[in-house]
């Protein structure tokens, strides 16, 4: 059976996350239902990452085995037709080898977190970023973030319901940039690693927000990390500011 990789964009608000679950809508279920309109016996898809409820994606990746020899553009167009009115889009479909696996072949995952500082409520981007009403100190947050780079026990920044076998992960990058807007300032957190723990990124951003607002010093983040205790973590920020931005493979299936 031919195998296809799918690059997927979605708005997370209507969904209980990526993974298919009983009695609640998921991104995986929406795509599988569209696939079954094309091939009723389609067994399902495998995604590169399990985004939580409310989390968005610029470029999630999944793979699927189909019976038909689909032309790639026709496959993406047909799926987008059947996905309506769900806020899910197949950006690209690509034929891949039978040994390609969207999850296990991924060597890097990039997440972006968007945070808007302004007093007036967001209108056009409501539900697409986290809004606060005060400015943040980017330099202090970056100094704190640098303590998190590398291989560590991230128990402090791990949800208590995380199912990962080990809290030890390697964080490759955590960069914070500031973007002036006509009304307000947007802060973007770019986080890169091979894999993440449950709620790890949102725990990072919420904790760094304490530094940015002056309630913590940068060294307090180092101390929280070394505590290896969930109680030492700052607040977990809302899901609706988080995006799965990119999944990297040794050989890009979409080139």
Cα 103–chain centre separation: 13
Residue 144 has what pLDDT?
98
Same domain, 40 and 139: no
Average pLDDT over residues 14-42: 96
Residue 247: both structure tokens together: 């999944």
Same domain, 42 and 134: no
Residue 14 has what pLDDT?
97
Q: Of 104, 130, 155, which residue constitutes the final position of a domain?
A: 104
52 is catalytic: yes
User: Which residues, 6+ apart, have CB-to-CB distance to 21 below 8 Å?
Assistant: 29
Percent of the chain residues past pLDDT 90, beyond the cut: 96
Same domain, 82 and 119: no
Same domain, 135 and 74: no
Q: What is the mean pLDDT of the chain?
A: 97
In a domain, 253, yes or no: no
Same domain, 65 and 133: no
Helices (H), 108-227: 138-145, 200-212, 218-227
Cis peptide before 85 (omega within 30 of 0): yes
Residue 172 has what pLDDT?
98
Q: pLDDT tens digits, residue range 71-120?
A: 999 999 999 999 999 999 999 999 999 999 999 999 999 999 999 999 99
In a domain, 126, yes or no: yes
Decide: helix, strand or coil at residue 30.
Answer: helix
Residue 233 has what pLDDT?
96
Residue 80 has what pLDDT?
98
Whether 5 and 61 have beta carbons less than 8 Å apart is answered as: yes
Residue 146 has what pLDDT?
98
Q: For 49-125, where are the E strands, in sequence order?
A: 56-65, 88-96, 106-117
Residue 140 has what pLDDT?
98
CATH number, domain of 118, equals: 3.30.70.660
Whether 15 and 243 have beta carbons less than 8 Å apart is answered as: no
Same domain, 92 and 140: no
In a domain, 178, yes or no: yes
Same domain, 8 and 65: yes
pTM of the full structure: 0.96
In a domain, 56, yes or no: yes
In a domain, 14, yes or no: yes
Same domain, 205 and 233: yes
* Residue span of the structural domain in which 20 resides: 3-104
Same domain, 130 and 225: yes
Residue 35 has what pLDDT?
98
Residue 99 has what pLDDT?
96
Residue 245 has what pLDDT?
98
Residue 58: both structure tokens together: 């610029």
Q: What is the CA radius of gyration of the chain?
A: 19
Same domain, 163 and 45: no
Residue 168: both structure tokens together: 């030890």
Q: Of 48, 74, 104, which residue constitutes the final position of a domain?
A: 104
In a domain, 155, yes or no: yes
Residue 217 has what pLDDT?
98
Our count of domains for the chain comes to: 2
Same domain, 122 and 88: no
Cα 80–chain centre separation: 21
Residue 153 has what pLDDT?
98
Catalytic residue among 23, 41, 52, 137: 52
Same domain, 56 and 172: no
Residue 246 has what pLDDT?
98
Residue 79 has what pLDDT?
98
Q: Of 104, 119, 152, which residue constitutes the final position of a domain?
A: 104
Residue 226 has what pLDDT?
98
Average pLDDT over residues 42-65: 96
Q: pLDDT tens digits, residue range 161-216?
A: 998 999 999 999 999 999 999 899 999 999 999 999 999 999 999 999 999 999 99
In a domain, 252, yes or no: no
Distance CA 79, CA 67 (A): 15
Residue 46 has what pLDDT?
96
Average pLDDT over residues 34-40: 97
CATH number, domain of 46, equals: 3.30.70.580
């Amino acid at each position: 059976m031919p195998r296809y990789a799918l690059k997927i964009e979605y708005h997370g608000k209507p969904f209980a996350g990526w993974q298919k679950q009983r009695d609640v809508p998921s991104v995986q279920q929406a795509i599988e239902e569209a696939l079954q309109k094309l091939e009723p016996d389609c067994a399902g898809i495998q995604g590169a990452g399990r985004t939580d409820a409310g989390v968005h994606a610029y470029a999630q990746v999944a793979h699927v085995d189909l019976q038909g020899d689909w032309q790639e553009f026709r496959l993406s167009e047909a799926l987008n037709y059947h996905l309506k009115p769900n806020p899910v889009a197949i950006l690209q479909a690509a034929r891949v080898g039978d040994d390609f696996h969207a999850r296990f072949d991924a060597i890097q995952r990039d997440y972006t977190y968007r945070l808007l500082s302004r007093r007036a409520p967001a209108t056009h981007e409501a539900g697409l970023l986290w809004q606060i009403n005060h400015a943040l100190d980017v330099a202090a947050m970056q100094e704190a973030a640098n303590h998190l780079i590398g291989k560590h026990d991230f128990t402090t920044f791990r949800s208590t319901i995380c199912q990962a076998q080990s809290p030890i992960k390697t964080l490759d990058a955590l960069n914070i940039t500031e973007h002036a807007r006509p009304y307000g300032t947007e802060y973007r957190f770019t986080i890169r690693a091979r894999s993440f723990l449950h709620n790890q990124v949102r725990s990072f951003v919420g904790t760094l927000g304490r530094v940015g607002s002056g309630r913590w010093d940068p060294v307090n983040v180092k101390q929280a990390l070394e505590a290896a205790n969930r109680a030492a973590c700052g607040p977990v920020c809302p899901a609706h500011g988080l995006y799965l931005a990119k999944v990297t493979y040794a050989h890009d299936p979409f080139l």
